[in-house]
């Protein structure tokens, strides 16, 4: 299965991975179908939203406000409970339509990886299904 590798640079960071996914689709034989975009990490999330600098900053601030850094039980072994708790508000996979060999997204929609416990090397798995060939 194709994979995307993303190196993150901060503890929380939003990274637009739309072009990387479209590049994988373009190299495949899928013209029309669906893409499953999945990450096996427990402190990473995937969203579809607008990649606008102010909004990116607002998303980071909102996640920190919703799940503040407190004294959690998991911190005794791993010191990243806030990262796990932020990830359960989000999702680890998304399914999107493919049309004419690229993601069929709205004008302002982008696929964004949310790093919640960086900096790290992260992997996103892409599974493509063709409407015609069952690839």
Query: Which residues bind to Zn ion, rule: CB under 5 A?
Result: 78, 80
Q: Which residue has the tokens 């990830």?
A: 87
Going by their DSSP bridges, the two strands 102-103 and 93-99 should be labelled as: antiparallel
Instruction: Please state the closest distance from residue 38 (CB atom) to Zn ion, in A.
Output: 19
Instruction: Please state the closest distance from residue 72 (CB atom) to Zn ion, in A.
Output: 10
Residue 3 vs 78, nearer CB to Zn ion: 78
Residue 19 vs 78, nearer CB to Zn ion: 78
Residue 21 vs 114, nearer CB to Zn ion: 114
Instruction: Please state the closest distance from residue 73 (CB atom) to Zn ion, in A.
Output: 11
Structure tokens at 76: 């005794």
The b-or-e profile of 109-135 (16+ CB within 10 A means b, else e) is: bbbbbbbbbbeeebebebebeeeeeee
């Amino acid at each position: 299965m194709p994979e995307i590798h993303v190196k993150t640079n901060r503890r929380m960071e939003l990274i637009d991975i739309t072009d990387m996914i479209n590049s994988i689709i373009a190299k495949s034989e899928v013209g029309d179908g669906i893409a499953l975009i999945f990450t096996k990490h427990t402190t990473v999330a995937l969203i579809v939203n607008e990649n606008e600098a102010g909004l990116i900053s607002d998303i980071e601030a909102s996640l920190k406000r919703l799940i503040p850094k407190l004294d959690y039980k998991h911190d005794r072994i791993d010191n990243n409970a806030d990262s796990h708790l932020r990830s359960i508000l989000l999702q680890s996979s998304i399914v999107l339509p493919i049309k004419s060999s690229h993601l069929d997204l709205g004008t302002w929609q982008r696929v964004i990886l949310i790093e919640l416990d960086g900096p790290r090397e992260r992997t996103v798995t892409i599974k493509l299904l063709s409407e015609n060939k069952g690839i």
